[in-house]
Amino acid sequence: MKLGKIGLLGLLVCFTGCGGGTQPSSMPESPGSTAEPVAEAPAGDAPSSTVGWEGMNREQRMQYMQETVLPNAKALFVEVAPEKYADFNCKTCHGDNAQEVDFQMPNQLPPLPTTDTINAAMAANEPVATFMLEKVTPGMAQMLGREMVSESNPDGFSCFGCHQKGS
């Protein structure tokens, strides 16, 4: 399956499953398969504050992450790998040094190539890449009240919201 650059950028937000570089053991089938979806995108709404994520202060962001983002993200990952992600917490995505870096992203997730990102992800691990593209990235964009990256919105939410840019 060949995806355009736009689809790839959306795919790899948390390419490794936000779990320290190892892949969940049970991932959805390839696109176009007859397998049931593993989970719907997180049900969390966009930030409830009228100022949105960008306008929230640190305290508001921390509360929103704890009450909305964390439980919804955990639900997605637990759906595909319950044992692996039973202890899903802030450090799963933000890294072991989350407090030291004040939860800034990207942080400790593996870097992703900036050229042909989606095709590279698909070649590396198509089930994980598909999961990220179809579930995690759009869910995170929705919860953060951001539009997905696209040709008309090159600054939209993408893989690089969580992953550093590699070569």
Q: Are strands 112-113 and 165-166 parallel, antiparallel or unpaired?
A: parallel
- How far apart, in Å, do the first and last CA atoms of the chain sit? 23
Token digits of residue 68: 């909305």
- Predicted structure pTM score: 0.67
- Least confident range from 2-11, 67-76, 111-120, 126-135: namely 2-11
Q: How far apart are CA 66 and CA 76, in angstroms?
A: 15
How sure is the predictor about 153, in pLDDT bands with cuts at 50, 70 and 90?
Answer: very high
Whether 167 contacts 44, CB under 8 Å: no
- Do residues 39 and 130 make contact, with C-beta atoms less than 8 angstroms apart? no
* 4 contacts 122 by C-beta, under 8 angstroms: no
Q: Tokens 């919860």 sit at which residue?
A: 143
Per-residue pLDDT reduced to its tens digit, 46-100: 555 466 788 899 999 999 999 999 999 999 999 888 998 899 999 988 989 989 9
What pLDDT score does 47 carry? 56
